[in-house]
Amino acid sequence: MEIEELKTIWQKYDSKLDNLEKLNKKLIMDTLSKKPQKKLNWMKYRSFFSLFLVPVILILLLHDNFRIENIDAKFIIGCLLILIFIVVVSYLKFKCFTALKGVDLSTDSIIESVRKVTEFKGFFESKRKFSLMYFPMSCTGLLLICWKSLNFDFYNIFFLVVVAGFSLALGYKRRKIDKGKIERLEKDIYDLNEYTE
């Protein structure tokens, strides 16, 4: 009788200990997943608002050039190039946003979350490859739209070259920083794996 009582008491405490261990792992998982979730939410926010930011900035920058007397073949070709640029960039941003939107650390498994972030990373890399095409195209489009309002002397040409070079360098630096953030997010999510067992 005494051994049976000890067995039942032991089993009772053993199940309590198991429940406490599960609760402890869940609390640790919730605490540790806050940092990757915060990074993920920030990336979602940036991807979503950059969908609208590029066209708005271009319209604000170029609104003075949209006059009837400026319309000629150069202006129309420039507008077409800028329109293609906006469509390509918006499509890539939308694909990045939908890939990030699919990641849910609270319901997905760690492997599934890492797979989805890797898919986002693939879209990010394709955006980088497309930038080699759309950056010169957008610069050409901007130049053609503003053609009649530009005075092509040495200082303006130098200024345009410096702005284009600075934009290219800034874009390269920004992509490098973003790539590092994506890799750290992947690592943070993968580090949660030990607490999901």
Q: Write out pLDDT tens, residues 5-43.
A: 777 878 787 787 777 777 666 665 566 566 767 777 777
Instruction: Specify the 3-state DSSP secondary structure of 146.
Output: coil
Q: What is the largest CA-CA distance in the chain?
A: 104
43-70 pLDDT, tens digit per residue, is 777 777 877 887 888 788 777 777 777 7
Overall pTM surpassing 0.75 (yes/no): no
CA separation for the pair 62, 53 (Å, rounded): 14
- Tell me, what's the pLDDT at 170? 82
- Tell me, what's the pLDDT at 7? 77
CA separation for the pair 95, 46 (Å, rounded): 13
- Tell me, what's the pLDDT at 81? 87
87: pLDDT confidence band, cut at 50, 70 and 90? confident
- Compute the mean pLDDT over every residue in the chain, rounded to the nearest whole number: 76
Type of residue found at 146: C
Helix-helix angle 110-145:73-101, to 10 degrees: 170
